Chains A and B, each alone.
Chain A
């Protein structure tokens, strides 16, 4: 489903990503791991059009994503969460998720100003869908409160719900377990598994090895911007280069 081909990114003299190529098949949870600074988030930013690659391409199905503006990439079917949680703190949970539904609410300025029935219907449909998505992450009873007052773990769940609202073909999740205690991490793993079972394809960046090995069907390993290993969790576990990357030569 997602084809990354020779993706390279150079910032001045620094080569942050070097000829990375791999594929994410449909319907699985695919993990992207590597030490800090390996280029994982840069890869996400390249896929979602926040930055442009120096070389290489990204395809979603048959559609070329590289070169598209960020919002067009989302419209093509990529949803995403951010490493440092970028929810809209001043809006309610419901409104946050409804922002995610932006492209799927079919009305414009005229409909809004003239209060056309079609606009009201779409808003109603949007509210219902948003509540449904919030219930998937067990947040529907907090729908009306301000997002900024949520706990850290709840904010992460909200971000997931919001990303799902964009109705993605591929969901990019960036370090969801960062800053979470073991109990929250367990809940998160269950959450992501449930989402996967609903049919979403997921590409996941994560540091927590247990989470990655437990959740992902396939894994790609980056180090210093290069892909050093790709395969099933067993294959990765045994791969010498991966062990070296994480633990150093004498590890």
Chain B
């Protein structure tokens, strides 16, 4: 039995790590979606986190934990800078502001000496282990469960449903939106740091608009009713490329198609509690 596991691990460990990292990214975008915000910059935050953590390890010789912490902190600060002027306005403005953000970050990475230009950073030591990813995911899930049943979770939900009514309840909606956005950026940054330390290199190409759309598709596909949906959706979409390899360039087109179909026909995603309840009732009847 252990031998099969070892063989499985040898072949698929990168995929497992990738699924884990994608699950984290799904949670980061879920957080913003849960209060009615659309952030298309989470891939860019991931990139900032990846570069920061990699530089911390390579140039500053920091231990892994601290490198990851920095990798989470810097995107958080950037998110704060972007968020403060933008989040006083309606949620649509954040979507538009983060649209171009990914490209700007990519251009900056491409042109800075310290980030290695178009070559990126190489030779990052392999430091990520499975337990790191699982532990962080567990902590995140715990956090989400706690938040959901608190006034913070209710405030997010209220803001998502009706921001004006939420304000009428005394909720400082700007502060809460900022909280969701910054926390999402921190999570994405940490995911980036973890990613850098098992793929050995960081390049500017991986963190632009398309990966952001990937993350979004995974979350919407999974279903944004709870934090479980996005994790499942992104896991499926992370594995899908392996199965759809034969489609080559059209593989990404399929992602777009999935997004359209889900938004129109399955607006609550595949992990839809209400759908399950209805199906259970039909089954019992």
Contact = CB atoms under 8 A, between A and B. Distances in A.
Interface of A: 48, 50, 69-71, 74-75, 79-80, 82, 86-91, 95, 98-103, 105, 107, 109, 112-113, 115, 119, 123, 126, 162, 165-166
B132 interface: no
Contacts of B161: 88-91
A71 B88 CA distance: 13
A100 B157 contact: no
A3 to B, nearest CB: 21
Interface in B146-172: 146-147, 149-152, 154-155, 157-158, 161-162, 164-172
A86 B152 contact: no
Contacts, number: 84
A51 to B, nearest CB: 11
Secondary structure call for the B interface: helix
Nearest to A45: B164
Interface in B92-131: none
B146 A113 contact: yes
A148 to B, nearest CB: 10
Given A109-B179, A112-B146, A113-B143, A91 B168 contact: no
B173 interface: yes
Interface string B155-199: 101100110111111111100000100000000000000000000
B179 A103 contact: no
Contacts of B143: 113
B165 A112 contact: no
Given A86-B164, A112-B152, A119-B150, 13 more contacts: A69-B167, A70-B164, A70-B168, A71-B173, A74-B167, A74-B169, A82-B165, A91-B157, A98-B154, A99-B169, A99-B171, A109-B152, A113-B143
A165 B168 CA distance: 11
B31 to A, nearest CB: 13
Contacts of A71: 167-173
